Amino acid sequence: MLPTARIPAALIGPDKILWPVDIFGKSRTRMTHAFAQPLSALPSGRLAGRVMAPGDKSISHRALMLGALAIGETTISGLLESGDIMATAAAMRAFGATVERGTDDIWRVNGLGTGGLLEPEGIIDFANAGTGVRLTIGIAGAHPFATTFVGDASLSRRPMARVLDPLRDMGAEVIARSGDRLPLTIRGADPMAPIEYRVPMPSAQVKSAVLLAGLNIDGVTTVIEPVATRDHTERMLKGFGADITTEHANGGTIIRLVGRPELTPQRVTVPADPSSSAFLFVAGLLVPDSEVTVENVLLNPSRIGLIVTLKEMGADLAIENERQSGGETIGDVRVRASRLNGVHVPAERAPSMIDEYPVLAVAAAFAEGDTTMEGLAELRVKESDRLAAVARGLEANGVTCREGDDSLVVTGGRVRGGGTVTTHLDHRIAMSFLIMGLAAEQAVSVDDSAIIGTSFPDFVEQLKRLGADFADGAEAA
Ligand code: S3P
């Protein structure tokens, strides 16, 4: 066993979240969100320095999964070591793959080949991880054995029909709780039928679940996306040697995958997550006199909607040292404190910044004038109903906003702060409102910061290193 010093602090300790497996995969316990940990962000002085957000969550999930589906050893450096990703690592082990972290911090996955997974002996607990469970349902649903999935209270509320429907079309059998929610059991047919699937909502998770199922089905699986979403699955499948093509037409894509490829193990380098970096950008823009450089940020065109929007708002934000790494564009993003103006964010931009709206809403609260965000229906089915959670959080801190069915208008200006925000087991709600507290007139508290460990375990430490102030407990009134 590796020394415990190598385990990120946020993954251990009696006052932390207990993860579904120990990090080495030797034991397995039911995920418990042990204790809510209230935390306050205090109005802070200048933030300055260079930081790096952890590895990209989307790429980390996919690297573990494709590693498990390739024969031989895939190495992954820069893997995000967070609750969501540890749940995927545990799931891949449950299907028979070996997933280990070496003393060199490099993760090694020894896979079993497409169609080579084994029936798990127990249930698979995905805790809070929507991407992890939906993509793994795609993989498991094309194997002729039963797999049972569970999750935490947040994940158990989220819709799974979006991935179960196409899998049923391919021949899988499903027993799920009413409304197609977790817990659920899926069993693939033998053989499964390849389908042509038009994704009804803009969702990279649904696209990916269908493609991952298609890996174990003879023939060509086709996915039609009327609106393009993040393309990490397609890029990585190509990198692992799959026969996959993408055609771009009218803002959408048609993806064709030839089933049953032999995937070749790869050396994957995971760049820093732009969705986690987003909190650092906004902190640097809002706290007076700050200058912050966020290094190694993934700049895939399907992920940069927030950068485009912040620049439109007048942010002093520059991309430096842009380069290619592992088939992706990455760069360092330098921000300086800026006076922002309200803007209109068009609905078509939503897929390229879907996880960034909570922190954009915080930036908008400090901007001059109204910021209107449209096309936000998908925010209602994230880790929380994010549209409602953001609106309530803004109101609790004295910010005027108007919540529509799928839109939000934030009236910017002075931000009083002083509120306590309910996070609803949603890491991005917790982080967004802590950023608000660094720049508001009074502290902002969140009822639970432990959930941040699902995606950005050292969020608070990174910000403290830049000069931010936090206090344990709920300081705010
Ligand atoms: C993700 C896709 C997005 C995003 C999620 C990660 C992925 O979800 O919100 O955090 O890795 O494919 P949808 O595709 O359902 O919008």
Taking only the tens of pLDDT, the chain with its 477 residues reads 233 333 333 333 333 344 443 333 333 333 445 678 999 999 999 999 999 999 999 999 999 999 999 999 999 999 999 999 999 999 999 999 999 999 999 999 999 999 999 999 999 999 999 999 999 999 999 999 999 999 999 999 999 999 999 999 999 999 999 999 999 999 999 999 999 999 999 999 999 999 999 999 999 999 999 999 999 999 999 999 999 999 998 889 999 999 999 999 999 999 999 999 999 999 999 999 999 999 999 999 999 999 999 999 999 999 999 999 888 999 999 999 999 999 999 999 999 999 999 999 999 999 999 999 999 999 999 999 999 999 999 999 999 999 999 999 999 999 999 999 999 999 999 999 999 999 999 999 999 999 999 999 999 999 999 999 999 998 755
454: Cβ–Cβ under 8 A, 6 or more apart, which residues? Answer: 17, 82, 83, 84, 127, 128, 129, 427
Q: Is 472 a catalytic residue?
A: no
Report the candidate in 28, 24, 21, 20 with the shortest Cα–Cα distance to residue 7. Answer: 24
Query: Ligand 1 atom closest to Cα of 207?
Result: 14
Specify whether the CB–CB gap between 382 and 130 falls below 8 A.
yes
Torsion of CA 131, 136, 137, 138, to 10 degrees: 100
Q: Do residues 253 and 383 both lie within one domain?
A: no
Q: Do residues 403 and 440 both lie within one domain?
A: yes
Final residue belonging to a domain, choices 218, 240, 268: 268
Ligand 1: does its nearest atom lie under 6 Å from the Cβ of 205? yes
| Total count of domains within the chain | 2
Ligand 1: does its nearest atom lie under 6 Å from the Cβ of 381? no
For residues 368-393, one letter each, b for 16 or more C-beta atoms within 10 angstroms of the residue's C-beta and e for the rest, the string is eebbbbbbbebbebbbbbbbebbbbb
Q: Do residues 219 and 126 both lie within one domain?
A: yes
- Distance of alpha carbon 35 from alpha carbon 423, whole angstroms: 14
Ligand 1: does its nearest atom lie under 6 Å from the Cβ of 119? no
Question: What CATH number is given to the structural domain containing 165?
Answer: 3.65.10.10
Ligand 1: does its nearest atom lie under 6 Å from the Cβ of 378? yes
Long-range contacts of 460-464 (CB under 8 A, 24+ apart): 460/39, 460/434, 461/9, 462/51, 462/52, 462/53, 462/280, 463/47, 463/280, 463/283, 463/434, 463/438
Q: What is the pLDDT of residue 34?
A: 60
Q: What is the pLDDT of residue 163?
A: 98
State in Å, rounded, how far the first CA of the chain is from the last one.
46
Name the residue type at position 360: L
Q: At 298, list the tokens.
A: 């993934």
12 occurs within a structural domain: no
Spacing, Cα 304 to ligand 1 middle (Å): 14
250: Cβ–Cβ under 8 A, 6 or more apart, which residues? Answer: none
Which residue's C-alpha comes closest to atom 10 of ligand 1? 355
Q: What is the pLDDT of residue 11?
A: 39
Q: pTM of the entire structure?
A: 0.94
Ligand 1: does its nearest atom lie under 6 Å from the Cβ of 229? yes
Spacing, Cα 57 to ligand 1 middle (Å): 10
Q: What is the pLDDT of residue 33?
A: 53
Q: Do residues 249 and 281 both lie within one domain?
A: no
Which residue's C-alpha comes closest to atom 15 of ligand 1? 203
Q: Do residues 287 and 425 both lie within one domain?
A: yes
Q: Do residues 98 and 48 both lie within one domain?
A: no
| Structural domain boundaries enclosing 97 | 57-268
Q: Do residues 50 and 117 both lie within one domain?
A: no
34 occurs within a structural domain: no
Q: Is the dihedral of CA 173, 176, 180, 182 positive or negative?
A: negative
Q: What is the pLDDT of residue 293?
A: 98
Q: Are strands 344-345 and 420-421 parallel, antiparallel or unpaired?
A: unpaired
Q: Do residues 468 and 321 both lie within one domain?
A: yes
Rg (CA), the chain: 21
Q: Do residues 297 and 253 both lie within one domain?
A: no
Q: Do residues 324 and 425 both lie within one domain?
A: yes
Final residue belonging to a domain, choices 268, 283, 316: 268
User: Which burial class, exposed, middle or buried, applies to 90 when counting CB atoms under 10 A from its CB (0-12, 13-18, 19+)?
Assistant: buried
Q: Do residues 426 and 352 both lie within one domain?
A: yes
Final residue belonging to a domain, choices 223, 251, 268: 268
Q: Do residues 218 and 290 both lie within one domain?
A: no
